[in-house]
Structure 1
Amino acid sequence: MPSLKTLSSGRMRWALLALGTLALCFSNGVHANVFAAWVAPALMLRFVMISPPRSGFAATAVACGVASFVTFRGAIPMPDAEYAVTSAISGLFGALPYLLHRLASPRLGGVPGSLVFPAANVTLLYVVSLGSPFGTWANDAYIELDFLLLSELASVTGVWGVAFLVAWFASAVQGLFESRAPRANPALAAFGGCLLLALGYGAWARYAPAPARQTVRVAALSNPSTLSDLFFEGCPSREDITCRAKNSRTRLDVLFAMSKTAAQNGTRLIVWYEGAAQYDEEFEPEFVTRAQDFTRHHDVHLVAGALQVPREPGALMTNKAMVFTPEGHLAFEYVKSIPVPGEPIVAGKGDVQTLDTPYGRLGVIICFDADFPALGRQASLRGVDLLLVPANDWRAITPLHGEMAVFRAIEGGFSLVRAASNGLSVATDARGVRLGSNDSFASPGAILYADAPMAGQATIYARYGDFFAYLCALALAALTVSAIVSIFRRRAT
């Protein structure tokens, strides 16, 4: 017959599992909460540490799978059955850092033992980001954007350092569960010291006096409710070129009217959203001529998101941004480098082009490209002062997806303006301080105006890349080997 102590311990385990699973469901994704992001891994790790390794791993995998299904349901356009399988696989991977910590940490103890979980978590996030078609989606750092002093750390370590500290908190506080009597807790002290250093750096980066910077007035357009998402809707067939061209001209009439309003309000740089101009490929010369005339007449730069449809049925479309100068020149075209899985478009070369202007150097990427830090690093190393991001989201990923892009500005040390057709348009400086934003689902067709600073500076992260993720992988390997050696030494004695 089980003792009262055993029953109490069992109840505690399952209570931790239940509370941890609930917190995990709000620790990331479209329902994320900063408090839950810190508490969830601490509760789950405690459950694992007082459970047998196998059953603890199995239960944690189920909890992580449930949380994966809840946190991103609707964000990924996939049937529930397929998404459930994907979530189950994610759960298995998500439980691995907990299992590694359960097996290795007790054999290391102290500060080294507390580093197993965060090192394993960051290593997993980094490896997944390299192999997943969704890049850095689900990285724990993105939830910390409102915690701006901590988010500034991304300029040094990328998102990996922010995610490390969140995970380290979970392992550092485990000592508080183990005894009611006050005692030395070197792991918690080490974590606290590093957190204070990170916040101190964030405060310096955020509030230290900076030299005056030239600014440029930018306008970011969003899609008016009067415009369909697809230019060919209402045309009886693909061969009805007259109807399709008429629809394309109607779209341009609206877009150029909005742009004229922006120019009259003192804007020097106008950014259209992803796929704003839509047309069959033979229509493009007419669009280019009209854009050139507009920029000459209004003396502005125009970054026009455009979707070019080929004549051959079934051929891939071209999703691009076309940059026009006040002299009426088409300076360059940038083709979206990384299509969303299933997106029927040509993949670009991944080459971030730039344009020097009287107020600074511009760079352009498109929407999903901003989920891959390497493109932001490339822009930074090429001296970009302002990165422009035409984009298009859907309600389920708003505002999360737009806020993710802000980390590219922090990592790269440049200002950023994101113009979303549907979703969050946002302007931010190089520290991640929001200069303005607009949710098109609340205000369709609104124009976001912002005065963007034009003084980009390559950050430590831009120069050295994912070095912190590499350090975490090396640390995990060293800690694992140390734990294995400890096991053999104990057996030998």
Structure 2
Amino acid sequence: MKNNRFAVFIILTFLIYVMSNGEWCIPIFAWIYPILFLCMIYLNRTRKVYLIISSIYAIGFIVQFWRAIGMDIKICIIVAILLSFLKVLPYIYWSKSKMRFQDTIIFASIMVSIEYIIYLIYPALGGLSDAYTQYQNLYLLQIVTVTGIYGIIFLMYWTAAMVIWIWNNKSKKEYIRKYIIVYGSVIGLVFVYGVVMFHFVGNSDKSVRIAGVTVPISELLNNDKDVYSTFYTNTFTDENITNTRNKLSSVADELFLKTELEAQAGAKIVFWSELNGAVLKQDEDMLLQRASDMAKQEEIYLIVSLLVKTPYEDLKENKTVAFNPQGELISEYFKYGRSIGELCQKGDGMLKSFDTEYGRIAPFICSDMAFLSKIQQAGRNNVDILIVPASDWKEMTLLAAKTAIVRGVENGSNIIRHTNNGMSIVSNVKGCVLAQTDYFQSDTKTLSAQVAMKGRFTLYSYIGNLFVYLCNLYLLGSFILPQIKLRGG
């Protein structure tokens, strides 16, 4: 009977974990499942419990993210197993600790360190962190202006450990009271900070109309015989090239028509979503001249997103080129964070911002938003508006949008992210989503909105992941100092 109850508990925990992130995200479950994992340790004191927790992590990761991250299923399984080995470590520590109050802090600090290690290994996986599930908890979200997402991770796991610790010591009311006050004070300060930052810091009355336009370019690149063979193989013919040039010329005509319509509707800044300006190298100059003429004609800032292919060369150029209302080229930015299997030249990751009468603006392309060290340039350089042309697939678009929203809050920048095949969003420096449109339900495939012209200062832009390093120092002190004292004694 006892084994049956434990089996039911395992199934329940697995279901809650699966629905804590990914495609079926219920944000409160991201706080609950670590508590259930810790409960599991008390229900089963054998080493078998580590295998159970690892299995839930691994299988759950595949269910949550396989379609979203676009990995081959075999690679996804290997990644899931490796991540599960890392994420079980805090629970192993907890089960072997004396379960003191300081162990609750160590437990949370270990998970912070692990999340950071995962980011360092492969930044795109860092974008799957449970912290992003809290993007709609706007008071809590403001803490990322100091700690990045790792402050949220710490609070989630510290809360889980504290729940178990308080339950285990519930008979020692006087003993646990002061520690509950410490925990409650920290949570209270985070909440107060969030209220102040949300309501009183970073308010801006001035805004500018920005439009993102797109055409169904993915269908053409992936499924058209002429375009696909020219862009992704070396087996094309002269006829393929001729047909490709004609088809892409028609795409460009549509993009410029949409650009003109948005400018005439009042947009002062217009940009194309990622890959939309697909063009062969021999036609690039002509397309850029058209962009320059359009910017000058409509008196707008125009940011064109290009995918430039030189026949017989494997690496394409995935970049943005910006023009001012005088038709002058003012910025060229190459994508830094290439996706899996993306054969494009790697950019240097250096910010290419430019000043306008509507604030300081900078483009970042799609998965570049996952790279913390690169996007911090936006905060340090006082970028007011981040323009993010992107290209998604249906299952991953919400994860990508969450990442962009949080990056904006961390660095005090307003975000407009427009994408092919996904959800386009506008968010302000506080993380509020001000506008959104779904590619699959939109007739025009266009996102147009008023975007605040002023960003705000954030400490995180300057100190980076100092909070992570402090957690690491605490861990080192917790593990090394007792050994020094032991040997000294």
Q: TM-score when scaled to structure 1?
A: 0.91
- 2:222 is the counterpart of 1:220: no
Q: Equivalent of 2:120, from 130, 133, 151?
A: 130
Alpha-carbon separation, structure 1, partners of 2:104 and 2:169: 17
Structure 1 residue 274: Cα displacement: 0.4
Q: How does 1:397-436 map to 2 (within 5 A)?
A: 397-436=396-435
Give CA deviations for 1:463-483 in whole Å, capped at 9, x if unaligned: 100001111111222233467
Q: Equivalent of 2:155, from 144, 165, 183?
A: 165
Alpha-carbon separation, structure 1, partners of 2:202 and 2:69: 41
Identity %: 26
Amino acid at match of 2:114: L
Alpha-carbon separation, structure 2, partners of 1:37 and 1:437: 25
Match of 1:260?
A: 260
- More moved, 221-230 vs 275-284: 221-230
Equivalent pair of 1:223/1:444 in contact (CA under 8 Å): no
- More moved, 138-147 vs 217-226: 217-226
- 2:190 is the counterpart of 1:198: yes
Q: How does 1:468-483 map to 2 (within 5 A)?
A: 468-481=467-480
Q: Equivalent of 1:207, from 176, 193, 199?
A: 199
Alpha-carbon separation, structure 2, partners of 1:467 and 1:226: 40
Q: Which has the higher helix share?
A: 2
Q: How does 1:90-109 map to 2 (within 5 A)?
A: 90-106=83-99, 109=100
Amino acid at match of 1:336: K
Q: TM-score when scaled to structure 2?
A: 0.91
Equivalent pair of 2:426/2:436 in contact (CA under 8 Å): yes
- 2:338 is the counterpart of 1:348: no
Alpha-carbon separation, structure 2, partners of 1:245 and 1:281: 10
- More moved, 284-293 vs 174-183: 174-183
Structure 1 residue 281: Cα displacement: 0.6
Give CA deviations for 1:272-295 in whole Å, capped at 9, x if unaligned: 100011011111011011111111
Equivalent pair of 1:414/1:456 in contact (CA under 8 Å): yes
Alpha-carbon separation, structure 2, partners of 1:337 and 1:139: 21
Structure 1 residue 308: Cα displacement: 0.2
Structure 1 residue 400: Cα displacement: 1.8
Give CA deviations for 1:172-199 in whole Å, capped at 9, x if unaligned: 1003543675835355443332222112
SS of 2:47's equivalent in the other structure is helix
Structure 1 residue 209: Cα displacement: 6.4
Alpha-carbon separation, structure 2, partners of 1:325 and 1:57: 58
Distance 1:281 1:341, change over 3 A: same
Equivalent pair of 2:215/2:254 in contact (CA under 8 Å): no
Distance 1:139 1:230, change over 3 A: same
Match of 2:380?
A: 381
Q: Which runs of 5+ in 1 are unaligned?
A: 1-6
Alpha-carbon separation, structure 2, partners of 1:16 and 1:428: 39
Alpha-carbon separation, structure 1, partners of 2:63 and 2:69: 11
- More moved, 329-338 vs 209-218: 209-218
Match of 2:246?
A: 246
Q: How does 1:48-447 map to 2 (within 5 A)?
A: 48-52=41-45, 54-106=47-99, 109-110=100-101, 112-178=102-168, 183-184=173-174, 185-186=176-177, 187-208=179-200, 212-224=204-216, 228-230=220-222, 233-234=225-226, 237-240=236-239, 241-313=241-313, 315-443=314-442, 445-447=444-446
Distance 1:383 1:140, change over 3 A: same
Structure 1 residue 48: Cα displacement: 2.1
Alpha-carbon separation, structure 1, partners of 2:320 and 2:62: 34
Alpha-carbon separation, structure 2, partners of 1:61 and 1:212: 46
Q: Equivalent of 1:37, from 30, 33, 45?
A: 30
SS of 2:238's equivalent in the other structure is coil
Alpha-carbon separation, structure 2, partners of 1:97 and 1:11: 27
Aligned residue pairs total: 478
Distance 1:478 1:29, change over 3 A: farther
Amino acid at match of 2:120: L
Amino acid at match of 2:340: P
Equivalent pair of 2:307/2:317 in contact (CA under 8 Å): yes
